[in-house]
Structure 1
Amino acid sequence: MTFLRWAGTLTAFALLVFTLASCDVTNSSDSEPELDLVTIGSVTSDDYKISLESESTLETGANQLYWKIERGGDLVTPELITITPMMDMGNMMHSTPYQQPEVAPEDDRYYSNMAIFIMASGSMGSWAIEFEITLLNQEILTGEIPVEVDSSWRLTSVRDDNDKIYFITWLHPKQPVTGNNTLGFMVHTRESMMSFPPVENAELEIYPYMDMGGGSGHSTEFTSPEAEGSGYYEGSINYSMSGTWTTSVTLTAGDITLPEVMFEYSVQAQ
Structure 2
Amino acid sequence: MKTIKLILVTFVAALGLSSCSSDGDDTPKIDVNPMAEFNLVTNIEANGHSLELYSEGKTGFTTGYNELYVRIKNNADDTYFANPEITWMPVMHMMSINHSCPISELAISNDYNTVTKGYVIFQMPGNADEYWDITFTYEVEGQEYSVTETIDVTAPSDGKQTVSAFMGSDDVRYILAMVEPTDPEVAVNDMQAMLFKMENMMSFPSVENYSVTLDPRMPGMGNHSSPNNEDLTYDAATKSYKGKLSLTMTGYWKLNLKLLNSTGEVLKGEDITEEIEASSLYFELEF
Please confirm whether the aligned pair reaches a TM-score higher than 0.5, indicating the same fold.
Answer: yes
Alpha-carbon distance between aligned partners in 1 of 2:205 and 2:191, rounded to the nearest angstrom: 21
Question: Which residue number corresponds to residue 114 of structure 1?
Answer: 119
Q: d(CA) in 1 for partners of 2:245 and 2:42? A: 36
Match of residue 14 from structure 2: none
Superposed CA deviations along residues 83-131 of structure 1, whole A, max 9, x for unmatched, are 1111111432111000111112454321111111111111352111111
- One of 148, 152, 158 as aligned partner of 1:148: 152
Gaps of 5+ in 1: 1-27
The alignment partner of 1:218 has SS state of: coil
Which amino acid counterpart does residue 160 of structure 1 have in structure 2?
Answer: G
Match of 1:85 in 2: 90
Partner of 2:13: none
User: What's the CA shift for 1:231?
Assistant: 4.4
Amino acid paired to 2:148: E
Instruction: Say whether the 8 Å CA contact 1:61–1:169 is kept in structure 2.
Output: yes
Q: TM-score, normalised by structure 1?
A: 0.80
Matched, 1:139 2:143: yes
Q: How far apart are residue 237 of structure 1 and its match?
A: 2.0
Q: 1:123 to 1:46 in 2, by over 3 A?
A: closer
Q: Deviations over 1:5-26 (max 9, x none)?
A: xxxxxxxxxxxxxxxxxxxxxx
CA distance, structure 2, for counterparts of residue 64 and residue 95 of structure 1: 17
Structure 2 unaligned residues grouped into runs of 5+: 1-28, 270-280
Instruction: Pick the aligned partner of 2:134 from 108, 129, 138.
Output: 129
The whole-number CA distance in structure 1 between the counterparts of 2:250 and 2:168 is: 34
Q: 1:225 aligns with which of 210, 232, 248?
A: 232
CA contact (8 A) 1:171 1:184 kept: yes
Q: Quick one: structure 1 residues 223 and 31, their matched pair in 2 at CA, closer, same or farther if it must change by over 3 Å?
A: same
Q: Percent identity?
A: 23
Q: Which runs of 4+ in 1 moved over 6 A?
A: none
2:284 maps to which residue? Answer: 264
CA contact (8 A) 1:208 1:220 kept: no
Corresponding pairs, count: 238
CA contact (8 A) 1:188 1:199 kept: yes
Say which one has the larger Rg: 2
Q: RMSD value over aligned CA atoms?
A: 2.1
Partner of 2:243 in structure 1? 235
Structure-2 residue corresponding to 1:16: none
Equivalent position SS for 2:154? coil
Q: Which residue is 2:71 aligned to?
A: 68
* Offset of residue 35 of structure 1: 4.6
Question: C-alpha distance in 1, partners of 2:196/2:133?
Answer: 21
Deviations 1:126-166 (A, max 9, x none): 1111111111x202121123221111421013312454211
In the superposition, the TM-score normalised over structure 2's length comes to 0.76
Aligned partner of 2:268: which letter? P
Q: Residue 71 of structure 2 contacts residue 116 of structure 2 at CA under 8 Å; is this kept in 1?
A: yes
> Which structure ranks higher in relative contact order (CA pairs < 8 Å, sequence separation ≥ 6)?
1
Q: Cα offset for 1:221?
A: 2.0
Q: Do the aligned residues in 1 keep the contact of 2:226 with 2:246 (CA within 8 Å)?
A: no
Structure number with the higher strand fraction is: 1
Please state whether the residue corresponding to 2:224 is helix, strand or coil: strand
Aligned residue among 217, 223, 236 for 1:209: 217
Rate the CA distance shift 1:210–1:106 in 2: closer, same or farther, 3 A: farther
